[in-house]
């Protein structure tokens, strides 16, 4: 049997063609420019309870840290993240209750209104060991505990 080998010229031409195609594909990528990220801190006070939210916001998403201090006796603290749809921020609060090692995750809903964030209240249900707002029950933004107002950034 005769062993066929490609000529070195054909191999080099093939490698050059592949490099040109890869370069062209990389240059014509449709990557959207990164969205501007804004860091904002908020505080809400209800009777003797205080909640603080230090978040980063883009046009489509948010994430950050939240802490709810209950009359100085105990607190829930952890991470928030979610999506932004119009004037609504829908996501989760992943926190430790009372500083105990066990972590909890609950849904949160915030409504942007008059330069404030209103934390909605809704009926929750547990499915597959995860907590969700009930689908057919509207979230209440009128009878709420926390209304967050912007606080100056610490320098």
Answer left, alpha or beta for residue 99, where phi above 0 means left and psi between -120 and 50 means alpha.
Answer: left
- Mean pLDDT in consecutive groups of 10 residues from the start of the chain, 155 residues: 52 46 43 75 97 94 96 92 96 89 93 96 93 94 97 71
pLDDT tens per residue, range 67-91: 999 998 899 999 999 999 999 999 9
| Structural domain containing residue 67 | 38-151
How many angstroms separate the CA atoms of 60 and 53, rounded?
Answer: 18
Q: Is 12 inside any structural domain?
A: no
Q: How many domains are there within the chain?
A: 1
Res 25: pLDDT: 42
Res 125: pLDDT: 94
Q: Is 49 inside any structural domain?
A: yes
Q: Is 10 inside any structural domain?
A: no
Res 14: pLDDT: 44
Extended beta strands in 22-151, E state: 38-46, 49-57, 61-70, 74-85, 88-97, 103-113, 116-119, 124-127, 130-133, 147-151
pLDDT tens per residue, range 139-150: 999 999 999 999
Q: Is 113 inside any structural domain?
A: yes
Res 98: pLDDT: 81
Res 153: pLDDT: 67
Q: Is 22 inside any structural domain?
A: no
Res 154: pLDDT: 61
Q: Where are the alpha helices (DSSP H) in the chain?
A: 8-27
Contacts by residues 63-66 (CB-CB < 8 Å, ≥ 24 positions apart): 66/93, 66/95
Res 11: pLDDT: 43
């Amino acid at each position: 049997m005769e062993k066929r080998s490609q000529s070195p010229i054909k191999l080099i031409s093939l490698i050059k063609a592949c490099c040109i195609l890869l370069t062209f594909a990389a240059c014509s990528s449709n990557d959207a420019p990164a969205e501007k990220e804004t860091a904002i801190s908020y505080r809400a006070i209800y009777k003797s309870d205080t909640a603080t939210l230090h978040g980063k916001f883009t046009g489509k998403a948010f994430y950050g840290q939240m802490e709810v201090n209950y009359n100085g006796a105990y607190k829930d603290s952890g991470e928030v993240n979610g999506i932004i749809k119009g004037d609504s921020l829908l996501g989760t609060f992943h926190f430790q209750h009372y500083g105990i090692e066990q972590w909890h995750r609950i849904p949160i809903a915030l409504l942007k209104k008059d330069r404030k964030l209103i934390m909605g209240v809704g009926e929750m249900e547990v499915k597959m060991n995860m907590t969700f707002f009930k689908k057919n029950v509207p979230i209440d933004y009128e009878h709420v505990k926390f209304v967050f107002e912007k606080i100056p950034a610490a320098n």
